[in-house]
Amino acid sequence: MDAFITAALLDVDPHVQEASLRSAAALLAAQHNASKREEYLDHETVIGVGFGYAAITRNGIPVFEENGQSPDELPTAADAEAMASKEPTHDWRVHLITLREERHYRREGDGRWRLYRRGYGLS
């Protein structure tokens, strides 16, 4: 634990210390669980980011790129899976790049798109 936090907790009531430590543990657990959920692409995820870049690729060649479509015209990960399941021997990927974050998923098999790279986006 950070020395500053430890020193700050020494001057606090033991009940408050315990509650603070429980809160910190809960926050860390929530972050861990969130990262586990993001490890695989949810089938309801829309392949669109607004300002940035979103694409579905097959063997590195885009088969879909977001280009000003309205939200109801954008494919979902389920649509990407439908395309990929027709040609399963190819390398299928989904790319979602925004100003502050980027996530790249690779199809591993029936319905499984695993996060293989995460970055800081366009900023």
For residue 31, the model assigns a pLDDT of 43
What is the tally of structural domains in the chain?
A: 2
- For residue 34, the tally of other CB atoms under 10 A from its CB is 9
Query: Quick one: which H or E segment has residue 18?
Result: helix 14-38
Give pLDDT tens digits for 5-29: 444 445 555 544 454 444 444 444 4
Q: What is the pTM of this model?
A: 0.71
Q: What sign does the dihedral 34-39-43-47 (CA atoms) show?
A: positive
Q: What is the biggest distance separating any 2 CA atoms in the chain, rounded to whole angstroms?
A: 63
CA pair distance 73, 66, nearest whole angstrom = 10
Domain of residue 67 covers 53-119
3-state secondary structure of 111: coil
**67/16 same-domain check:** no
**66/109 same-domain check:** yes
Q: Tell me: pLDDT of 2 over 90.
A: no
